[in-house]
């Protein structure tokens, strides 16, 4: 793996400093279409409480705020630099700097969760998904976007240990048999996947 791709992969995993801010700007451009498609799949309703999980610089926050109306919008990221930028851009939202396996929110407190371009970093996805299900209300929806393994390999990032490569089969295995998986054109010749999962009003695990 060439040094430039390795550096980019590390910054994508946990953006920081000047390099992180530059990567954040590049992500804003590259993720515009997949984020829009994932938000559409999330089907946010007026008054919903929404969590942008792995919010980065907060690119989705404004769209989620508009869709939710009077509902509360939250953003969480494990990069403090990304949270600082997102907070400046959307002071009306509530932001958390926290690891993906320890969401500092009460049980069953949000109606919708967006997780766009972050599943690559869930090298052990079970504890992450357990946390997401914990904070998602019964009847709520999770929408996850990820670029396919083939597209990531073409960028050179696929050779990095920072990124988990996901095929459609991997994605379905991660989200469970009841998830709806759609392949999408993410722009710039990139193929992506959107997985949506609706939490049962009675049951709370992805496998059910």
Domain boundaries, the chain: 3-198
Residue by residue, DSSP assigns the chain as --HHHHHHHHHHHS--HHHHHHHHHHHHHHTHHHHHHHHHHHT--TT--EEEET-TTTTTHHHHHHHHTTS-EEEEES-HHHHHHHHHH-TTSEEEE--TT---S-TT-EEEEEEES-GGG-SSHHHHHHHHHHHEEEEEEEEEEEE-HHHHHHHTGGGSTTS----HHHHHHHH-TTSEEEEEEEETTEEEEEEEEEPPSS---TT-
CB of 67 closer than 8 Å to CB of 93 = no
Confidence of residue 27 (pLDDT cuts 50, 70, 90): low
Percentage of the chain exceeding pLDDT 90: 68
If one counts every other C-beta atom within 10 angstroms of the C-beta of residue 127, the result is: 13
| pLDDT tens per residue, range 81-117 | 999 999 999 999 999 999 999 999 999 999 999 999 9
Confidence of residue 4 (pLDDT cuts 50, 70, 90): very low
What's residue 208's pLDDT?
A: 44
| pLDDT tens per residue, range 119-152 | 999 989 999 999 999 999 999 999 999 999 999 8
Confidence of residue 20 (pLDDT cuts 50, 70, 90): low
Task: State yes or no: pLDDT of 74 exceeds 90.
Answer: yes
What's residue 202's pLDDT?
A: 74
Q: What separation in angstroms does the CA of 28 have from each of 57, 111, 156, 159, 170?
A: 8, 25, 20, 23, 26
Rounded to whole angstroms, the Cα distance separating 140 from 155 reads 34
Task: State yes or no: pLDDT of 25 exceeds 70.
Answer: no
Q: Which residue has the higher pLDDT, 9 or 110?
A: 110
Task: State yes or no: pLDDT of 207 exceeds 50.
Answer: no
What's residue 6's pLDDT?
A: 47
What's residue 14's pLDDT?
A: 61
Q: What separation in angstroms does the CA of 180 have from each of 6, 34, 188?
A: 33, 16, 24
3-198 CATH fold: Rossmann fold (3.40.50)
Confidence of residue 160 (pLDDT cuts 50, 70, 90): low
Terminal-to-terminal C-alpha distance of the chain: 40
Structure tokens at 199: 């939490």
Q: Which residue has the higher pLDDT, 158 or 185?
A: 185
Angle between helices 17-30 and 32-42 (to 10 degrees): 60
Rounded to whole angstroms, the Cα distance separating 7 from 175 reads 29
Confidence of residue 189 (pLDDT cuts 50, 70, 90): confident
What's residue 154's pLDDT?
A: 85
What's residue 5's pLDDT?
A: 46
Rg of the chain's alpha carbons, rounded to an integer?
A: 16
């Amino acid at each position: 793996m060439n040094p430039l791709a390795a550096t980019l992969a590390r910054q994508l995993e946990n953006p920081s400093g000047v390099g992180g801010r530059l990567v954040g700007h590049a992500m804003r451009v590259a993720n515009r279409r997949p984020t829009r498609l994932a938000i559409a799949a999330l089907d946010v309703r007026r008054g919903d409480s929404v969590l942008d999980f792995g919010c980065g610089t907060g690119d989705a926050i404004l769209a989620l705020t508009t869709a939710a109306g009077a509902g509360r919008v939250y953003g969480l990221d494990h990069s403090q630099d990304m949270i600082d930028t997102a907070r400046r851009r959307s002071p009306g939202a509530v932001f958390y700097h926290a690891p993906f396996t320890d969401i500092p929110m009460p049980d069953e407190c949000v109606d919708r969760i967006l997780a766009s371009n972050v599943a690559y970093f869930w090298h052990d996805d079970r504890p992450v998904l357990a946390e997401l299900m914990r904070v998602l209300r019964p009847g709520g929806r999770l929408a996850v976007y990820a670029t396919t393994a083939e597209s990531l390999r073409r960028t050179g990032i696929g050779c990095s240990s920072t990124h988990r490569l996901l095929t459609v089969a991997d994605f379905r295995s991660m989200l469970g048999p009841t998830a709806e998986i759609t392949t999408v054109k993410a722009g710039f010749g990139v193929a992506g996947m959107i997985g949506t999962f609706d939490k049962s009003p009675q049951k709370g695990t992805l496998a059910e």
